[in-house]
Amino acid sequence: MEHATETEIVEAAQHLRSLSAGMNEVLFGQRELIDLVITGVLARGHILLEGLPGLGKTELVKGLSKLLHLGTKRIQFTPDLLPGDITGNPVLQETNGRREFVFQPGPLFTNIVLADEINRASPKTQSALLEAMQERRVTVLGQTHELPSPFFVLATQNPIELEGTYPLPEAQLDRFLFKLEVTRNDIDTLQRIVSQRELGTEPQVDPVMGAETFQSLLDLTRRIYLPDVVANYIARLVDATHPGRSAAAQGIRYGSSPRAALAMASGAKARALMNGRVNASFEDVKAIAPAVLRHRIVLDYNARVEGRGAGDILRALLDEVPFQATSTPKVLAGSTNTD
């Protein structure tokens, strides 16, 4: 695959600056979060946003769809939601005197799916998203239906400890490229919100690019160069999440899968494009690693008792694993390019 050129990078950076500026007008005081959301979308990944109610998770997703001028549908996840309610169902119709079942697409058939409060739905309904998120298609009664391109799931969830929620299974969490934490606002940001927002009204933004331009940015992201030394760093980071592979892994029961390494590579390329560079760097990997790994490690009982969270362990892991290996690790045998 031909690598991205400087000219293409400069032009893309202009579009991405406009997108970032528009997003920061939708959600105040969350510049780092917004940059990670744009990075995740450029990497063609699904994103899980976690935070308390009222912090702007839903507005962030709606604002993104408006700025990109893409089709979007919102699914409000509730305990009584059924799998067919999101994938679609065959409906009996009469055509030319004959009665036959015709598939009626559900709300998954759009570009951006806002899965609001995804952890309030039952596990059966949550699992209906698995094929859509991984394969970009759904199968209903043995028939496969392709989803539009591009296709993203941007899901929001309240912290698990809140009443009436169902933890997402690890297999589904692994399908999310990033898990991002939406934090509360500081006093200055709250004052700006009070001064410039009205309760019950949405921020008004205009599209900054069309679907064709956005698709070209997605294609360009794949062409960002990933040096071998950076791929080596990614492999060592993922390997270090497994018990016994690093001192920082103490407290981890299960480490990350190869999908985490692929997600980290894609995210690093996207961040490089966001910063106007033709190749991914060690710093790109380190910046997006917590968002990639925090939902892909399972902590053991002792870590939870000691009050150590995934964030604490990942910070220690990033400090421990050097950018360049002192010797070639066995884990690299048979590694391939992420494209």
Q: Which residue spans of the chain are classified as CATH 1.10.8.80?
A: 224-324
What pLDDT does residue 338 have?
A: 41
**Angle (nearest 5°) at CA 216 between 152 and 148:** 35
Contact status, residue 101 vs residue 92, Cβ threshold 8 Å:
yes
Q: Which stretches of the chain score pLDDT less than 70?
A: 160-163, 200, 327-339
* Per-residue confidence (pLDDT) for residue 163, from 0 to 100: 66
Query: CATH number for the 1-222 domain, one of 3.30.2020.10, 3.40.50.300, 3.90.1150.10, 1.20.810.10?
Result: 3.40.50.300
Q: What is the fold, at CATH topology level, of the domain defined by 224-324?
A: Helicase, Ruva Protein; domain 3 (1.10.8)
In this structure, what DSSP letter does residue 148 have? P
- Angular region, 307: left φ>0, alpha ψ -120 to 50, beta rest: left
How are strands ordered across the β-sheet holding 152-157? 72-76, 112-116, 152-157, 46-50, 176-181
Could you read off the pLDDT of 39-64 as tens digits, one per residue? 999 999 999 999 888 788 888 888 99
* Entry pTM: 0.88
Give the per-residue pLDDT at 336: 39
Give the largest CA-CA distance in the chain.
75
Q: Model confidence over 60-115: pLDDT tens digits?
A: 888 999 999 998 999 999 888 998 999 998 888 877 778 888 889 999 999 999 99
* pLDDT attached to residue 335: 37
> Are 313 and 303 spatial neighbours (Cβ–Cβ below 8 Å)?
yes
pLDDT of residue 311: 87
Q: At what angle do helices 228-240 and 258-274 cross, to 10 degrees?
A: 130
Using an 8 Å Cβ cutoff, are 313 and 251 in contact?
Answer: yes
Q: Where in the chain is the domain with CATH 3.40.50.300?
A: 1-222
Q: CA 186, 288, 248: angle at the middle one, nearest 5? A: 100
pLDDT at 15: 93
pLDDT for position 200? 65
pLDDT at 325: 77
For residue 334, what pLDDT is reported?
36
